[in-house]
Structure 1
Amino acid sequence: MDWDKLRIFHAVADAGSLTHAGDTLHLSQSAVSRQIRALEESLNTTLFHRHARGLILTEQGELLFDATKSMNRRLEAASARIRDSEEEVFGELRVTTTTGFGTLWLAPRLPKLYEKNPDLKIDLMLEERVLDLPMREADVAIRMKEPSQADLIRKRLMSVRMRLYASREYLAQHGEIHEIEQISNHRLICQSPNSIQVAAGATLIQHLLSYDITNMFTVNNYFGVLQGVVNHLGVGVLPDYLTEDTPDLVRVLPDLQSGEVPVFLAYPEELRQSKRIAVFRDFVQEEIFNHRRKIREAADS
Structure 2
Amino acid sequence: MDWRSMKFDWNRARAFLVTAEEGSLSAAARALGLTQPTLGRQVAALEEELGVLLFDRAGRGLTLTDNGLELVDHVRAMGEAASHVSMTASGQSRSVEGTVRITATEVASAFMLPAMIDRLRAAHPGIEVELVATNLLRDLRRREADIAIRTVRPTDPQLIARKLPSEVARLYASRTYLDTHGPFDAPEDLSEAQFIGFEDNVPFIEFLNGMGLGLAERQFAVRTAVHLVHWEMVRQGLGIGVMLSRVGDADPTVARVVSWLDPFEFEVWLVAHREVNSSRRVRLVFDWLVKEFCALPPAV
SS of equivalent residue, structure 1 residue 164: strand
Tell me which amino acid in the other structure corresponds to 1:269: R
AA matched with 2:214 = S
1:208-248 deviation digits (Å, cap 9, x = unpaired): 54266852244445334313212211111223242376453
- Taking the TM superposition and a 5 Å limit, the aligned residue runs for 1:129-208 are 129=137, 133=140, 138-191=145-198, 192-195=200-203, 203-207=207-211
Deviation at 1:164, TM superposition (A): 1.0
2:167 touches 2:268 (CA, 8 Å); kept in 1? yes
- Larger displacement relative to structure 2 (166-175 or 215-224): 215-224
Pairwise CA distance, 1:48: 6.5
Q: Structure 1 residues 121, 161: CA separation in 2 closer, same or farther (over 3 Å shift)?
A: closer
Deviation sequence 1:134-176 (CA, Å, 0-9, x none): 5766433221122233354321212122211111232234344
Unaligned 5+ runs, structure 1? 297-301
TM-aligned CA distance change 1:36 to 1:152, over 3 Å: closer
The two structures have a TM-score, normalised by structure 2, of 0.69
Residue type matched to 1:215 in 2?
Answer: Q
SS class of match (2:191): helix
Q: How many pairs align? A: 282
RMSD: 4.4
> In structure 2, how many angstroms separate the alpha carbons of the residues matched to 1:86 and 1:259?
44
Deviations 1:248-285 (A, max 9, x none): 33112134233521111122334224223322223323
Q: Distance in 2 between matches of 1:67 and 1:240?
A: 47
Native 8 Å contact 2:53 2:68 kept in 1: yes
Q: 1:88 to 1:231 in 2, by over 3 A?
A: same
Give the letter aligned to residue 122 of structure 1. Answer: E
TM-score, normalised to structure 1, is 0.69
Listed as ranges, the gaps of 5+ residues in structure 2 are 20-24
Residue 299 of structure 1 is matched in structure 2 by none
Q: Which amino acid aligns with 2:11?
A: R
Per the alignment, do residues 68 and 137 of structure 1 end up closer, same or farther by CA in structure 2, a change over 3 Å counting?
A: farther
Instruction: Please tell me whether residue 282 in structure 1 is matched to residue 287 in structure 2.
Output: yes
Partner of 2:214: 210
**Partner residue, 1:126:** 134
1:264 and 2:269 equivalent?
yes
Deviation of 1:13 after TM superposition, in Å, equals 6.8
Equivalent pairs: percent with the same residue?
Answer: 26
Aligned with 1:185: secondary structure?
A: coil
Deviation of 1:79 (Å):
2.2
CA contact (8 A) 1:156 1:263 kept: yes
Q: 1:227 aligns with which of 218, 224, 232?
A: 232
Q: 1:81 Cα shift?
A: 1.9
The residue number in structure 1 matching 2:82 is: 75
Contact 1:105–1:241 (CA under 8 A) maintained in structure 2: no
What are the Cα deviations for residues 74-109 of structure 1, in whole angstroms up to 9, with x where unaligned? 322222223324984244544344454445544675
Aligned equivalents of 2:230, 2:6: Cα separation in 1: 52
Structure 1 residue corresponding to 2:242, chosen from 237, 243, 258: 237
C-alpha separation between the residues in 2 aligned to 1:218 and 1:172? Answer: 23
Deviation at 1:126, TM superposition (A): 2.5
Q: 1:119 to 1:65 in 2, by over 3 A?
A: farther
SS at match of 2:258: strand
Offset at 1:47?
4.5
Structure 1 window deviating more from structure 2 (274-283 vs 88-97): it is 88-97
Distance 1:209 1:285 in 2: 35
